[in-house]
Structures are given as C-alpha cells and as structure tokens.
Amino acid sequence: MYDFRPDAAQAPAERYRELLGAADALTADEPDAVANMANVAALLWEFLPDLNWAGFYRIAPAKRENASELVLGPFVGRPACIRIPLGSGVCGAAAQSGATQLVADVNAFPGHIACDAASRSELVVPVLRDGQVIAVIDCDSPSPARFSQVDAEGIEALAALLATRI
C-alpha cells in the first residue's frame, strides 16, 4: 500500500520534489497509461492544496472530423467537459501552443471554458513526447491567482517524467 502524504508546512518547491518522487515510484514500472494518469491525478489532489479539479486531457481523434481534440482522461473533481477542441479554452490553448498556461483569472481568459463555475484560476501544462503534445495536465482552483511560477515549474517537471509513461 502506498501512503503519500505531504507535510502541510513544506515549501512549495519541496512539495513538488516529493510529488515528483511519488509519481516516479507509482509509474516507473507500470506500462498502462490510464492507470498512471489515474494515480497521478490522485497525487495532485493529495499534494496540492486549494484545488477543485486535477487531472488529464488526452489528444485523441475528433468525433466528427479528421482532426485531433482533447478528450477527458483520469481526474479528481467534479464532472468535466469531455471534449475540447484544440485552441479552445485554457486546455486547448496549451495543447495547440505546446506551452504552459498559467492563468490567474480564468474569467479574463479569452474563450475560457467553464466546466466548473467555481474555478477562478488554472494551470495547464502540456505533456510532450518527441516534440508532440500527447496530453495536458490541468489543475483548477476556486481561488484567484492560486498558481505561481513554482507551481508551473513543478507540473512541467511532472509532465516531463510522464511523457513516456502515459
């Protein structure tokens, strides 16, 4: 049994080092991408305070077109949008650009998709394999400006770790 419980008094950078170690321990020898995403979503929920959603969207074929879109993956939180076109909302922007999106106020983000009306800030980090976006890690908070550059760097390190494991 795994028991990964962070110390609430830890500095954010140390919390991310422990999160990365826990994610590495859980995913290192597991070839199933869904299992790995599910465990990492649970770790995000456990390690990061003040979240109302944490999880993955995966690049997948679109339902009706010869294109790709984001499709909901494992997550923790309220039910979410299932499909997001590339370029739409914060997740779609991260997937299309291949760049981290650190949004202090989601209501000021052009085209924001409100899956949960309680969300006020968002951090979305693309997962890249061989230079291509394969998924995004999405973290939402009910607090404005919840995420910092330390959070972005921590989730970017997690995305790099997971690139060959999901």
CA 150, 85, 57 angle in degrees (round to 5)? Answer: 45
Residue 88 backbone phi and psi in degrees, to 5: -100, 135
pLDDT single digits (tens) 108-125: 998 888 777 889 999 999
Query: Residue 139 pLDDT more than 70?
Result: yes
**Residue 6: inside a domain, yes or no?**
no
What is the reported pTM?
A: 0.94
Alpha carbons 88 and 128: distance in angstroms, whole number: 19
CA distance 138 to 93: 12
Instruction: Give 141's strand partners.
Output: 121
Handedness of CA 100, 138, 58, 30 (dihedral sign): positive
- Specify if 2 maps to a domain: no
CATH code of 109's domain: 3.30.450.40
Q: Please give the tally of structural domains in the chain.
A: 1
pLDDT score for 70: 96
Surface-to-core class of residue 46, CB atoms within 10 Å of its CB (0-12 exposed, 13-18 middle, 19+ buried): middle
The residue segments making up the domain with residue 22 are: 12-162
Amino acid identity of 117?
A
pLDDT at 135: 98
5 found inside a domain: no
Answer yes or no: is 66 within a domain: yes
